[in-house]
Amino acid sequence: MAHPHGVPQAPRPDAPLVEPLAGRADGTVPRTGAHVLVVGAYSVDLVFRELAGQVVFGSEVWAGGLGTVPGGAFTLAMGLRRLGRDVVWAADFGSDVFSREVLAAARAEGIDEHGFRHHAQPVRNVTVALSGPQDRAMVTYEDPIPVRPLAELIETHRPAAVMLPYLQFGPEVSKGLDVAARHGVEVFMDCQDYAGHLGMPDVAKALSQVQVFAPNEAEALRMTGTDDVAEALEALADVVPVAVIKRGGDGAVAAEGGRRAARAAPPVPVVDTTGAGDCFNVGFLHERLAGGSLDACLAAGVVCGTAAVTGPGSSAALDSAGLRARLARLPA
């Protein structure tokens, strides 16, 4: 995936920008406190399921199912909100139909709008997901827009935790992570197939500044230059306080200090794997903010990720009652 959801793009000099709303309709200033700040672009996911064959150039493949669901960082904000967390989502919306669709969905979920920016031109973020029973391929397009610095967002919103949906590094990112540390803000970072490895000083520095880093298995192996999940976990644990490796149908493993934990994924009928990793992240962070142990966080993550694959995109994301019910059915 050349451009993961939320990857910053260079601003277009001709892009007219409408100033962000001051908050909701009452014009209140941004709220600070015990909420989660999600930083990342929305996406509309066009999910093609039940493919009749492999997709190759020069051929046509029929799909047995099609879903259109909001995705990208929307999944993180929506998932946390369904679990009862207060969420501010820093996202951009434009004049296009995709922006309108996701904005309506965000409002329906009750996501706080203090982090929204509204633009006069289209801000299209579209992913075509070709979904199979075990994995998926994606093609993504994003309209370029000016990026808000992470430090500015954290200073403005002062959250309890920040969720970053893809691997970020470099001087501006480290500046933002320094601000998070100064205010005692927990930072959770995913990878999302973004280029970078532990041999790069900027990557190692950024990971040492976050509290949780959660790549999937393929990303972890690539980033660490290993061919074994256990070795990759140890390499990441040397850098980041809490290292998590998501293994799809095989569950997940994690390391925190001297502690190690692993959780298998309960068997479920798979409809679509798109959004499962983001839903895992939501469950893991939700339990961590509640003071749960490393094993409890893994269990919540695996349950949320597993539930997500039973519907198209993130449509099957759990609410708090659903999470409790599924956790109760896990083996001890």
> 233 forms bridges with which residues in the sheet?
none
Q: Which residues contact 102 (CB under 8 A, 6 or more apart)?
A: 42, 43, 44, 70, 74, 93
**Side-chain-side CA neighbours of residue 247 (13 Å):** 18
Do residues 113 and 102 make contact, with C-beta atoms less than 8 angstroms apart? no
Phi-psi region of 331 (alpha: psi -120 to 50; beta: other; left: phi over 0): beta
How far apart are the C-alpha atoms of 78 and 35, rounded to whole Å?
A: 13
**What pLDDT does 134 receive?**
64
Instruction: Give pLDDT, residue 34.
Output: 64
162-196: pLDDT as tens digits: 999 999 999 999 999 999 999 999 999 999 888 89
Mean per-residue pLDDT, 222-226: 97
The mean pLDDT of 17-29, rounded to a whole number, is: 34
Over the stretch 27-47, which tens digit does the pLDDT of each residue have? 334 444 569 999 999 999 888
CB atoms closer than 10 angstroms to residue 300: 28
* Residue 303 token pair: 């349950």
Helix (H, G, I), strand (E, B) or coil at 95: coil
The distance of Cα 287 from the centroid of its chain, to the nearest Å, equals 16
Contacts 24+ apart (CB under 8 A), 260-267: 260/233, 261/294, 261/295, 261/298, 262/298, 263/295, 263/298, 263/299, 263/301, 263/302, 264/302, 265/302, 265/305, 265/306, 266/302, 266/303, 266/306, 266/326, 266/329, 266/330
- Which amino acid, residue 120? A
Give dist(CA 85, CA 162) in Å, integer: 12
**pLDDT value for 202:** 97
* Rounded Cα distance, 71 and 76, in Å: 9
Q: What is the pLDDT of residue 55?
A: 86
Angle at 206 between CA 161 and CA 170, to 5 degrees: 115
Q: What is residue 133's predicted lDDT score, i.e. its pLDDT?
A: 65
Dist CA 52 CA 61 (whole Å):
6
Q: What are phi and psi of 213, to 5 degrees?
A: -125, 130
pLDDT exceeds cutoff 60 at 59 = yes
What was the pLDDT predicted at 91? 97
Residue 304 scores a pLDDT above 70: yes
Q: In this structure, what are the phi and psi dihedrals at residue 233, rounded to the nearest 5 degrees?
A: -60, -45
